[in-house]
Structure formats: C-alpha cells, structure tokens
Structure 1
Amino acid sequence: MKIHLWDHNLKVRLLGEGLFNLLFWMYFPFITVYFSETLGQSMAGLLMTVPPIFSLIGSLLGGALTDRLGRRPVMLIGASFQTLMFVLFALSSSAWIDYIAFIGIGLGKAIYSPASNAMVADLVPEQNRRQVFATFTTANNIGAVLGPALGAVFFFHYRQALLWTCAVILFLYFVAIYFIVQETLPPSSQRLKDRSLITRVFKEQWKGYGLIFRDKVFLVYILAGIFALIPIMQLDLYLPVYVTSHVPTQALFTWHDVSFVLSSKEIYGWLVGFNGLLFVLFILPVTHWFQHWKERNVFILSALLSGLGTFFVGLNNNIWFLFLVTIVFTFGEMVRSPVSQSFISNYAPEHARGQYMGVDSMQYTIGKFLAPLTVFLSTWVPPMGIFSLILIMAVISIALYMCLFKLYVKQPGV
C-alpha cells in the first residue's frame, strides 16, 4: 500500500511522529545514564521501574477513552500532556523534578498510543497493516540514526534547548491533529458512545477489561511479549550503563597517523544510531521478506535473535564486535515490530479495538517495569551474570510463544 494512497490522517501522523522522534532519540537513550550520574546507579535502577506503572495506567485509560470519546480526542489529550511535561522538564533545576517530568512524558505517550494504533487499524485493510505499521516504524526510527550521536553532545551540554525544541514540535503536532486529523471511530463503537453517560463509562470499561483479562490466548500473548521485550529494552537501560562503564575509549578507525577516537559515551551513541540506521534501511524489506511467515515463527525468531544478540555484547568490548552484535539484536527487534502490531489489530474485535490496544501495551509497560532491574542488579552481579539473565528471559518467551499458538489454533478468534 503506497503512501500516496494513504488516508490524510495517516500522512499527518507519519510526518508529526517522525519529526518528534528525531528529537526524542536525542535525549531518551541517555536518561538512565543521566539519573545514574545525578541520583546514583542503584537509585536510578529502582526509579526506572516506576514510570512503567504510570504508563500502564495511561494505556488502560487511553484504551478505554479511545473506544468512548474517539481516537482524535485521546490523541489530543496525550499530545498536550506531553507538551506540558517537556516544558516542566525544560524549566526544572532539580533532578527529582526532571524525574517527575519524565514520568509525565511517558504517561502522555501511553494515553496517546492506543488511539494512534487503533486509528491505523480503522483505516487500513487487514492485508496491508504489516506494511503500514512497518512504514511508521521506519519514520519513527529515522531520528534514531542521528539522534543518539547528536544527543551525546546536546543532552549533556544543551539540555534545556533540546527540551524546549521537543515541546515546540509537540505543540505544533497538537495543532495539526486539532485542525487536520478527523475522527475514525467505527460505527459499532459510535453507538456505544452516543448512548453512554460519562459517569457510566469507567464502570463499563472496567467490565470490558475484565472480559479481556479472562481471554487466555490474549493473556499468554501478553506474558510472552513481556519476556521477549526485556532483552530488547536493554538497549536503553543496561547497555548504556555497561558500555559507559566497561567499554574503553578506542579508535573507530585509523588511517596512517590519523585516528578517529570515540569515548565510551560516544561509542554508545554510535551503537544506538547504528540500531536506528538498520531500522530505517531494512524494516520495510524485512517486513516484505517475512510477510508469508507464520506469526508464530516470526515471534520465536525475534526472541532468539534479541536474546542471543544482547548476550553476545558481554563477550567482547571491541567496537566493531559491538557493531556486529547490534545487527543481531536489532534484527530480532525489527522482525517483531510490525507483526506484533498487526497481530493485535487482527485479533481484537472492532468495537473493543481501543481497549485491546490499551491492554496490548501492558507487555511494554510491564516489560519496562521489570527491565530496569538489570541496572539495579548490576551493582552486585557481574556483567555476564546480567547478560545470562537476559538470555534466560528470551528462552522463556520462546516457550510461551509456542504455547500461545497451540492455544490460538484451537481458538482462532475471541
């Protein structure tokens, strides 16, 4: 499905989210390092387990409101809240206020995401969803190419200017949503919206979530996703701590008497940038290569590559070896991304699509809650112990995905 054939709602979102993510990747990869330096490594590891709790609340709330208020209003709420939190972050002179603002940014993004994904499912036929989700992933990762390399300088030396720029871009995106984006709520959900009182919404939505949580297939899918995402999330959690602490300053290349030397922080920035470059170059081809693969095999391959790739990071601190293993765990993340989004889009019933999208994000929020424990444990456990634990999480995920698709064959729908 070519971009010029897309609905204008999707085109606006593709541009807006792409611009914001260009700036997002200039600060997000370094947030764990920042809090480790200002508040201590152990404290940072504990503190990074808290934002996912608020993100979980935001996802459930956003999913509930998405099926009642509509996609567009919830996206406006999420974008405006993130804008305010970036302003607070930019004005702050305290690491604790920075932390509160960081939590708020995650909360706003969590409210926004179910409505955003539901809008794609509303507008795109089932057979084209993998490709469309892959295109959004490409746009979101274009910023990941240059962002981390630039962020290694701008975040630590020009943080306020960077945060103000994020706030302005998000505000402009809010304006674009308000004036250009149109509602896509399906008729089945629209009827529920018309006859429901606001005071009854949360009670009814709670009952709806109760039904979802009794869906055994869906719960196994969420649990498998949690264990699969723990290795993937280490790129922004344990890997920056490990690289800045255990990878020495070294030359990227030497030409005669000239050497291009990178510090440990710069090496990490280059690795994250390389991760983003791989996404930009290969997410669409990879989606095409695996379009005929069964979802079961794609999920298992993803968990295997991300687990092994992250484990291999601890085997050698040479920069070129680190680039090599980055390819391995990046492809693990890459093959998973569009398939996971299309799986839930196809599995969720139309009238409860927002709720399922909200609960689907639980695997990310719970994963983000558990993944920072590697930073906390790194105070006492040596690096190979941490990397072995990460690999074990991937193996558990593979076993759960095998179980999932045995159940899913017997129960192909909700």
Structure 2
Amino acid sequence: MNWLKWDLNLKIRLTGDTVFNLLFWMYFPFITLFFSEAFGKSVASVLMAVPPIFSLAGGLFGGFLSDRLGRRPAMLLGAFMQASMFALFALSSSHWLDYFAYIGIGLGGAIYMPASSAMVADLTPVKDRRMVYATFVTGRNIGAVFGPALGAVFFFQYRHELLWTCTAVTLLYSLAILLMIKETLPAAAVAARQGMRLSGILKEQVSSYGVIFRDKLFALYIAAGILVTIAFMQLDMYLAVYVTEYVPAQKLLTIGDWSFSLSSSQAFGLILGLNGLLFVLGVMPVTKWFEEWPERNVLILSSLLFGAGMFLFGFTTQLWLLLIFTVIFTIGEISRSPVTESFISKYAPDHARGQYMGASGLQFSVGRLFAPVTVLLSTWFPPLVVFGFIFLVTILSSLLYIRVFKMLPASYYDPQREADAV
C-alpha cells in the first residue's frame, strides 16, 4: 500500500508519532538517573516500578474508551493529557511533582496507543496491515536510535527547553487530531455504544475485559507473547551484563600498523547501535520479505531466530561473531512487531478491537516484570546456561503459537475478511 494512497488520518499520525517519539527518547533513557539523583538509588528503584502499573491500567482503559466513545476521543484524551503533563514537568519546582508528571505522561501515552493501533486496522485492508504497521514501527524506532544521542546533551543541559518543546509538539499534535482526524469506529461498535450508560461505564469495562480474558485462545497468545518478551528484554538486561563482564577489550579493525580497538562497554554500545540501526533500516524490507508468509510461521520463526541468536552469544566473546549473532536475533525481533498488531486487528471482533489492542499490552508489561530473572540466574550459573534459558523461553513461545493457530476458528481464514474494502 503506497504511502501516498494512505488515508489522511494515517499520514498525520505517522508524522506526529515519529516526531513525538524522537522527543520521547531524548528524555526517557535518562529519567531513572534524574530521579536517582533526586531521591537516591534505593527510593528511585521503587518509584520506577510504579509507572508501568499505571500504563497497564491506562492501556486497558484506553482500549475500552476507543470502543465505546470512539478512537478519536480516546486519542484526544491521551494526547492532551501528555501535553498538560509535559507542561507541568517543565513548570515544576518539586521532584515529587516531576514524578507525578512523569506518571501522567506515561498514562496519557497508554490511553492513546490502543485507539491509535485500532484506527490503523479500521482504515487499512487486511492484506496491507503488516506493511502499514511496519511503517509506524520504523517511525517509532527512528526516535529510539537518534533520540538518546540528542538527549545526552539536551536533557542535562537544556532540560526545561526540551520539556517545553515536548509540550508544544504534543499540543500541536493534539490540535491536529482535534481538527483534522475523523472518527473511524466500526458500525458494530457504534451500535454497542448506543446502549451504554455513563453510570455503568466501570462495570461495563470490567465485564468486557472479563470476556476477553476468558478467551482461552487469546490467553495462550498473551502467554506466548510474555515468554518472547522476556527474551527480547535481555538486550538491556543480561546481554549488557555478559558483554561488559565477559567480552574483553579487543581490536575490531587492523590495517597495517593501524588498529581500532573497543572496550567492553564500547562493544556493548556497538551491539546496541547495530540493533537500532537494523531496526530502522530493516523493518520495511523484512516485513516485505515475509509478507506472503502466514502469521503463524512468522511468529514462530521470530521467536526461534531471536532465541538462537541470543544462545550463540554464550559460545564466544569474539566481537565480529557477536555482531553476526546480533543481526540474527534482530531479524527475529523486527519480523515480529508488524505481525502481532496485524493478528490482533484481524482476530478481535470489530466492536472490541480497541479493547483487544489494550489487553495485548499485558504481554509486554508482564514480560518486562519477569525479564530480570536472568540477572538473578547469572549469579548462580555460567553464561551458557543463562543464554540456554533465554533460548528455552523462545522455544516454549513458539510451541504456544503453534497451539494458538491450531485453535483458530475457520472464520479467521474467511477470504471475505481479506477484502480490500474497509
């Protein structure tokens, strides 16, 4: 689906999401350090465990709102909340107020995301969704690659200017949503909305998510996602420990009498940089490469490639080999992202698409919660055992995906759902 043929809603959101994510990554990697300096490391470690809980609740609430009130109201609520919290952060003279604003920023983003993902599905034919989602993933990762490098300067030297810039950009984006983006709520969801009473909104939300979480197939899908997320999170957890503790300083290039060497920490930075660069440059080609593959095969291959790439790290400390293994697990990582959102958009009923999008965030929240277990294991076992554990969870994840697709109803494969009309 050519970008020029996209709906105006999608073009505006792709631009806004890309710019905002660049600003987000200019402050997010340094926020823990900021609060550690303000409150001390022990207090900050406890405080930083709280925002993900609010984000999880916000994602569920945002998904519900997007199905009951509409995609646009949920996105407006999330975007304006972020703008106001950035302004509060910029104006604050109290670290506790800073912390409250930081929680509010994450909550606003969590409310926004399910509606945003659901709107992509509303506006995109089934056959084109992988590539459209891949384009949004590329935009988000441009910020993840370049944001931290810019933030290392701006966050510490020009923090207030950065926060005011985030406020202005988010406010402008909110106004663009208000003035230019149209509602895309499917007719089935509109019919369900007509019978809703405001006084019963909380009860209805609990009831709606109760139905989703009693969906055994969806529960297995979430469990598979939790396992593979545990593996994905190791890039920032055990892999950092392994490279800095076991990979020695070594020469990367040698030409005649000239050589270029890297320390352990620099080697880890190179691995992270390669991973980020491949994410930005590779999402679209890899998605195109696997475009004709069934979702089942892509999800299984993704889990196994990532696990195998990580497992191979345990056999060597030679940097060039580690970079090759990084390419392997990154291909597994980037092939997954567009497919997961495409699968949910197709599996979820039209009237509950936003709620399923919100509930799918559980796999990332719970996976991040359990991911640090590898660091604990590393105190008792050698690296090969820890990397073996990482590979094991990806194998279990792939087995669960096999089970999920065996349980799918025949209606999921109905050719009528592949129609171009949306």
TM-score w.r.t. the length of structure 2 is 0.84
Q: Does 1:18 align with 2:3?
A: no
Residue 347 (structure 1) aligns with = 347
Query: For residue 115 of structure 2, what is the amino acid of its counterpart?
Result: A
Residue 368 (structure 1) aligns with = 368
Aligned partners of 2:72 and 2:115 also within 8 Å: yes
Query: For residue 198 of structure 2, what is the amino acid of its counterpart?
Result: I
Residue 358 (structure 1) aligns with = 358
Say if 1:413 and 1:128 are closer, same or farther in 2 by CA, change over 3 A. Answer: closer
Say if 1:27 and 1:308 are closer, same or farther in 2 by CA, change over 3 A. Answer: farther
Aligned partners of 1:151 and 1:269 also within 8 Å: no
Aligned partners of 1:51 and 1:369 also within 8 Å: no
Residue 308 (structure 2) aligns with = 308
For residue 6 of structure 1, report the CA deviation from its aligned partner.
0.8
For residue 294 of structure 1, report the CA deviation from its aligned partner.
1.9
Q: Does 1:205 align with 2:205?
A: yes
Residue 132 (structure 2) aligns with = 132
Matches within 5 A, 1:6-405: 6-31=6-31, 48-90=48-90, 100-155=100-155, 158-240=158-240, 268-313=268-313, 316=316, 319-374=319-374, 386-405=386-405
Say if 1:169 and 1:374 are closer, same or farther in 2 by CA, change over 3 A. Answer: farther
Give the secondary structure class of the aligned counterpart of 1:67: helix
Whole-Å Cα distance in 2 between the matches of residues 63 and 328 of structure 1?
34
Say if 1:260 and 1:166 are closer, same or farther in 2 by CA, change over 3 A. Answer: farther
For residue 236 of structure 1, report the CA deviation from its aligned partner.
3.9
Say if 1:43 and 1:309 are closer, same or farther in 2 by CA, change over 3 A. Answer: farther
Query: For residue 137 of structure 1, what is the amino acid of its counterpart?
Result: V
CA offsets, 1:194-215, max 9 Å, x none? 3322112222232221211121
Say if 1:93 and 1:267 are closer, same or farther in 2 by CA, change over 3 A. Answer: farther
Say if 1:30 and 1:236 are closer, same or farther in 2 by CA, change over 3 A. Answer: farther
CA offsets, 1:87-125, max 9 Å, x none? 455556777665554443332221111100110111111
Whole-Å Cα distance in 1 between the matches of residues 137 and 318 of structure 2?
29
Query: For residue 275 of structure 2, what is the amino acid of its counterpart?
Result: N
For residue 9 of structure 1, report the CA deviation from its aligned partner.
0.5
Whole-Å Cα distance in 2 between the matches of residues 160 and 264 of structure 1?
34
Of the structure 1 ranges 149-158 and 342-351, higher mean CA displacement relative to structure 2 is found in 149-158
CA offsets, 1:53-92, max 9 Å, x none? 2222111101111111111111111122223343455556
For residue 266 of structure 1, report the CA deviation from its aligned partner.
5.7
Query: For residue 4 of structure 1, what is the amino acid of its counterpart?
Result: L
Identity %: 57
Give the secondary structure class of the aligned counterpart of 2:113: helix
Aligned partners of 2:83 and 2:167 also within 8 Å: yes
Whole-Å Cα distance in 2 between the matches of residues 246 and 159 of structure 1?
36
Give the secondary structure class of the aligned counterpart of 2:68: coil
Give the secondary structure class of the aligned counterpart of 1:278: helix
Whole-Å Cα distance in 1 between the matches of residues 207 and 390 of structure 2?
36
- The count of residues paired between Structure 1 and Structure 2 equals 414
Aligned partners of 1:33 and 1:241 also within 8 Å: no
Whole-Å Cα distance in 1 between the matches of residues 203 and 116 of structure 2?
24
Whole-Å Cα distance in 1 between the matches of residues 97 and 379 of structure 2?
25
5+ residue gaps, structure 2, are: 415-422
CA offsets, 1:142-186, max 9 Å, x none? 223323344445445555544443333222211211221111111
5+ residue gaps, structure 1, are: none
Aligned partners of 1:145 and 1:274 also within 8 Å: no
Query: For residue 334 of structure 2, what is the amino acid of its counterpart?
Result: M
Structure showing greater radius of gyration is 2
Name which structure has the greater RCO, CA cutoff 8 Å, separation 6+. 1
Give the secondary structure class of the aligned counterpart of 1:183: coil
TM-score w.r.t. the length of structure 1 is 0.86
